[in-house]
Structure 1
C-alpha cells in the first residue's frame, strides 16, 4: 500500500494575483493554463484554459494562482459580482470564490484548506468593503465540501439552484 501524501505546512501556501504584469505572474499564468482537472471534476469546474480568459475580460474578476513553496499548484478567481445578488442579501459586502481547484497531484494534502485562509489579503485588496467570501459547491461533491469546511467555510443554509451541475450549497467564510 502506498504511503499517504504528506500534508503541507499552511505557511508554505500563498496566492498570487494574476492580473498584474510581472515576470513571476507571467510564469504563473503559463503554468495554471497547463493544469488540468481530474476527470471526475471536469463537470463541476472549468480548467483555467477556459476560465482565465473570461476572468481577464471581466473587471469584477481577479484570477489567482495557488502557490505551494513558490510552485503553482492551483487556480481560482475572486469575483466582486457574479451570482452574489442571488446568494446573499449583502452582495456589496462579499466576494465570490469561483473556478477554484488544486492540481490533482496536490489534492488531499491540505493545500486547498491552506489556500482558503491565504485568500484574505487578496480579498481585502480587491474589495475593501467585503467582510466575507462566499462560494457554491455541488451538494454531491463531498470531497470539495469537506475541504472548504476544513478551510474555515461554513454552511449558510442557502442553496443555489441556477448552476449547470445541479443544486449547490452556499458556503461563507469571514475575511479576517
Structure 2
C-alpha cells in the first residue's frame, strides 16, 4: 500500500530573512523575484519594495514563506503597533505586514498554513507578545478567508486610511 501524500502544512515553514547564512541569502534573492498580480497590488507591495524598508527598520523582521525549501511568499513582523490598532497593550502585540503568497502558489492553503505557523517565529522575534495583528482591506475577500482559516479572528477595530480601502483589524493569539 502506498504511503499517503503529506499534508501541505507539513511542508510549509517560515524563514527569517535577517540572518547572514547562505540559506538566508538565497531566500532573500528568491523573494525579491516574487511578484504580485496586478489585482493584489492595491493591497500591498511586493518584497522588492518592502524588504529594503524592513532592513532599514530595526523594529521590523522580514521572513520568507518556504514550501519544500522554495520561497513562495513574504511577510514582515513589525514590533511597533499603533495604540489605535492594538486590542490591548500595544507592547503585547506585533503586526503582520506586507504578507503575501506568490500568485502561482495561491489557492493551495499555503497562506492559511503560514498564518497558523506564526507562533514560533513571533516568539523568536518578540518573546513577550501575546498576539499578532493584521489590518486587511475589507474588499480583499481571499486574504480575509486565508487569515480566518489561519486562526485570526475579527476585533472591534476598523481602519479608514485616507489613501486606502477600509481595513478590518484581525488578531491571532501567539501560541
- Whether these two folds match at TM > 0.5 is yes
Cα distance change, pair 147–27 in 1 and its aligned pair in 2 (3 A): same
C-alpha spacing 1:165/1:8, structure 2 compared with 1 (3 Å): farther
Distance in structure 2 (CA, Å) of the matches to 1:84 and 1:129? 17
- For these two proteins, the number of residue pairs brought into alignment is 170
The answer on 1:151 being equivalent to 2:154 is no
Q: Which residue of 2 aligns with 1:118?
A: 117
- Write the distance in 2 (CA, Å) between the matches of 1:8 and 1:169: 30
Partners of 1:30 and 1:54 in 2: how far apart?
Answer: 15
In the TM superposition, residue 119 of structure 1 has moved relative to its aligned partner by 1.3
**Would the aligned equivalents of 1:84 and 1:96 in 2 still touch at CA under 8 Å?**
no
Normalised by the length of structure 1, the TM-score is: 0.93
Is 1:29 matched with 2:36? no
Give 1:86 shift. Answer: 2.1
Root mean square deviation, CA, Å: 1.5
**Contact persistence 1:8–1:109 (CA under 8 A):** no
Give, in whole Å, the separation in 2 of the partners of 1:141 and 1:163: 17
User: What per-residue deviation string (whole Å, max 9, x for no partner) do you get for residues 13-59 of structure 1?
Assistant: 01000000000000000000000001100111001110000000000
Q: What is the CA distance between 1:125 and its match in structure 2?
A: 1.0
Matched residue, 1:138: 137
Give the C-alpha shift of residue 163 in structure 1.
Answer: 6.1
1:64 and 1:75 in contact (8 A); partners too: yes
| Structure 2 portions without partners, runs of 5+ | 1-5
Q: Could you list the runs of 4 or more consecutive aligned residues of structure 1 that deviate by over 4 angstroms after TM superposition?
A: none
1:9-48 correspondence runs (5 A): 9-48=8-47
Q: Over residues 67-102 of structure 1, what are the superposed CA-to-partner deviations in whole Å (9 max), with x where a residue is unaligned?
A: 011111000000000x43220131100110000000
Structure 1 residue matching 2:172: 3-state secondary structure = strand
1:91 is matched with: 90
Q: CA deviation at 1:152?
A: 0.5
TM-score by length of 2: 0.93
Uncovered stretches (5+) of structure 1, i.e. residues with no partner: 1-6
Counterpart-to-counterpart distance in 1, 2:26 and 2:97? 22
